[in-house]
């Protein structure tokens, strides 16, 4: 039995093909293994006109930390008038990119040979300008995850969130939804979610907790719908107006709540 911790083993190798640096990732690309590669990619994209190919075909898992490293490397390369390509034939990875709003951002190739072919017209991402890091187009409501959240749950959550915030009559909705799956297997409700949104000028915070990912997303959708409705239509969500003084109501008007904040954290 080996005494080597798999997480301490090298997770990427590097070689040069012509003027291109090829970096191959192996195994899991997550919060534990990302820092060494992030530092190396920063070094490789520090000079002018960096030319990088990241081979992800041996990568078995990627989380939000790994995606963040890839986005940073891509932005740094484009900002310095360079190029970064990803080699992958994984439908799961492409699904993850689509779920988190990064579809079309990276230049993707199914094989190393096509990635090394110099065909500028194949570049899918726009070039950076003015020496600044390129900005990616992402959904108004970002979806992030912590722990081992599967792509199917993320795709289901993306659909439900878009259904809620894309309804006619709502003001602009921005913010973030974070889904977490706890590593503790004996927990009754290992799945949790927190949504922090701005609905027009109103802030909405929604919490949810459930036993499975699908149940969590369904609960989150119901609470998001209720709270975004309240934020978009204040005064029209079931509260009756106080009775006037001549009908027994208080003669002193109640001050309006000007906080513009609503929250939903009812226990399931």
pLDDT given at position 246? 53
Q: CA–CA separation, 57 vs 256, rounded Å?
A: 58
What's the CATH number for 141-235+257-264? 3.30.160.100
CATH 3.30.750.24 fits 6-122, yes or no: yes
Closest CA to 67 of 108, 97, 47: 97
Which residue positions in the chain have pLDDT lower than 70?
1-10, 118-139, 185-186, 235-268
pLDDT given at position 85? 94
pLDDT given at position 105? 83
Answer whether 0.75 is exceeded by the pTM: no
pLDDT given at position 122? 40
Residue showing tokens 């950076």: 128
pLDDT given at position 23? 95
In the DSSP assignment, the letter for residue 122 is G
Closest CA to 25 of 87, 114, 106: 87
Helix, strand, or coil (residue 44): helix
pLDDT given at position 98? 82
Q: CA–CA separation, 10 vs 25, rounded Å?
A: 9
pLDDT given at position 53? 95
Give the model confidence (pLDDT) of 79-123 as tens digits: 898 999 999 999 888 888 887 778 788 899 999 998 998 644 344
Q: Where are the domains of the chain?
A: 6-122, 141-235+257-264
């Amino acid at each position: 039995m080996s005494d080597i911790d798999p997480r301490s083993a090298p997770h990427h190798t590097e070689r040069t093909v012509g003027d291109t640096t090829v970096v191959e990732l192996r195994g899991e690309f997550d919060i534990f293994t990302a820092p060494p590669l992030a530092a190396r990619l920063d070094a490789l994209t520090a000079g002018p006109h960096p030319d990088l190919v990241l081979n992800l075909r041996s990568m078995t898992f990627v989380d939000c930390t790994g995606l963040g490293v890839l986005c940073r490397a891509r932005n740094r390369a484009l900002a310095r008038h360079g190029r970064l390509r990803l080699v992958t034939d994984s439908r799961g990875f492409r699904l993850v990119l689509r779920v988190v709003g990064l579809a079309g951002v990276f230049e993707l190739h199914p094989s190393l040979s096509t990635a090394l072919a110099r065909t500028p017209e194949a570049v899918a991402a726009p070039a950076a300008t003015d020496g600044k890091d390129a900005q990616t187009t992402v959904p108004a409501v970002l979806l992030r995850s912590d722990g081992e959240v599967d792509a199917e749950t993320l795709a289901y959550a993306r659909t439900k969130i878009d259904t809620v915030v894309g309804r006619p009559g709502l003001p602009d909705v921005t913010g973030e939804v974070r889904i977490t799956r706890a590593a503790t297997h004996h927990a009754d409700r290992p799945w949790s979610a927190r949504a922090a949104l701005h609905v027009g000028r109103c802030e909405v915070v929604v919490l949810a907790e459930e036993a499975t990912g699908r149940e969590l997303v369904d609960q989150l959708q119901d609470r998001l719908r209720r709270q975004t409705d309240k934020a978009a239509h204040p005064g029209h969500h079931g509260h009756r107006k106080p009775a006037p003084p001549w009908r027994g109501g208080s003669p002193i008007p109640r001050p309006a709540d000007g906080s513009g904040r609503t929250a939903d954290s009812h226990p399931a």
